[in-house]
Amino acid sequence: WPYQAKLIVVTDGERILGLGDLGANGMGIPVGKLSLYTACAGIHPELCLPVMLDVGTNNETLLNDPYYVGLRQKRLSGAAYDEFVDEFIAAARAAFPGVLIQFEDFANHSAFHLLQKYRDSIPTFNDDIQGTASVALAGLFSALRITGGRLSDQKLLFLGAGEAATGIADLVVAAMIAEGTSETEARLRVWLVDSRGLVVKSRKALSEHKLRYAHDHPPVTDFPSAIRALKPSAIIGVAAVGNTFTPEVLQLMARLNERPIIFALSNPTSKSECSAEDAYRHTGGRALFACGSPYDPVQLDGKTFVPRQGNNSYIFPGVGLGAIASGTRLVTDEMFMAAARALVKLVSDEDIEQGSLYPALPRIREVSANIAAAVADVAYKRGLTAGNAPKDLIGYIRSQMYDGRY
């Protein structure tokens, strides 16, 4: 291999987008993500290595497909799986010392556990958990520019309790703690609804990642009832179940809040909790809306609303660039918080005026450079890198960015 990889995106193909277990066919994801790193943050393609860990697949259609390229076996699990991932990490770090490893589209049961296992010892992050969290936090900060008040004054109700939901919840709690709120109080501002209803303490056999948001509350089986019971200021949809923010849900939120925060983050579009048009129409144009799928501008009562996607592609390219440029030993939650703050700074008053909680995508390289500088700044300040901070940090970051035009 003639190049020195600085960035690996790795998947095991078990939960590709909302499409499930694609086995070795999941390789498109690391390739696609790395293309975004190059396009959005100017990371040179030579530095990027896509990896697909073929541990088999449980997808019967693929196992029976004569043209399937992957291993024809059921997925490895348990200790054998862990040892295989360990072996990959050790080999990658031996070949490419200091390489940043981004985990992508692993299923719940592997994603949380692998992040926990490696995050305090090597430069790594999980974009589905942490990148999503950062972009959602940025959206909330943007919404606060309109509603006023502190993040800690919000009450968030999630539809979905998986990687995206608990990732966002954890970063929101960390940001509330940074505002001076106690951890106990902060957690009480965050509630989850999964396929079995509100996540409450009395429920049996809750998975590990849901436990810290299982509060004392009588059981509630459906989402509208949870809204009535809890009176949230924000609802965040990350369950990948389409049309769950029904007119009833949206009208309820509009009755409870002057400016209800409505984030329908699931994708693709068929899984979106509601369309932009529905969000504005059923709240009388008062929704502060972000989506995970693309929607055209909406005309309502003579006003044009321009919804923008709360998509983690605003965040991860800049985080990767900042991590590589600074040579950080770890990628920390503080960096994802700094990334969210850097992103919000680039949301203009005109954006806010037209209902956009994120900057326009054509500004993505500027966004990524600023996020990278914010991330690198944390690395230098926290002593996570051997070097000293360059005087002109943003200038240094820009000098590292590859421009594909020729």
Binding stretches for ligand NAD (CB under 6 A): 17-18, 108, 128, 132, 135, 159-165, 193-195, 238-241, 265-267, 271, 292, 310-312
Of 96 and 158, which has the nearer Cβ to ligand NAD?
Answer: 158
Instruction: Pick the closer one to ligand NAD by CB: 311 or 400.
Output: 311
Confirm if 152 and 189 have CB atoms less than 8 A apart: yes
* Closer to ligand NAD by Cβ: residue 71 or 246: 246
Helix spans in 148-246 (H): 163-178, 183-188, 208-211, 223-230
| Smallest separation (angstroms) from ligand NAD to the CB of 311 | 4
Characterize 81-115 residue by residue with b for buried, 16 or more Cβ atoms within 10 angstroms of its Cβ, and e for exposed.
beeebeebbeebeeebebbbbbbbbbbbebbbebb
Q: How far is the CB of 1 from ligand NAD (least distance, A)?
A: 31
Nearer to ligand NAD, 315 or 393 (CB): 315
Closest CB 196 distance from ligand NAD, rounded Å = 8
Q: With b meaning 16 or more CB within 10 Å and e meaning fewer, what string describes 346-377?
A: bbeeebeeebbbbbeeeebbebbbbbbbbbbb
Task: Provide, rounded to whole angstroms, the least separation between the CB of residue 258 and ligand NAD.
Answer: 26
Q: Give min distance, CB of 4 to ligand NAD, in A.
A: 30
Q: Is the Cβ of residue 163 or residue 170 nearer to ligand NAD in the bound state?
A: 163
The amino acid that residue 240 corresponds to is A
Kindly compute the dihedral angle of the four CA atoms of residues 30, 35, 38, 39, in this order, to the nearest 10 degrees: -140
- Minimum CB–partner distance for residue 64 and ligand NAD (Å): 25
- Crossing angle for the helix pair 163-178 and 132-147, to the nearest 10 degrees: 50
| Residue whose CB is less far from ligand NAD, 26 or 160 | 160
Interhelix angle 108-118/78-95, nearest 10 degrees: 50
β-pair partners for 124: 101
Here the tokens at position 213 are 């948001």
The DSSP code for 389 is P
Least spacing, CB of residue 159 vs ligand NAD, in Å: 5
In the complex with ligand NAD, the residue whose CB is nearer, 240 or 339, is 240
Distance CA 51, CA 44 (A): 17
Instruction: Give the residue at shortest CB distance from ligand NAD.
Output: 162
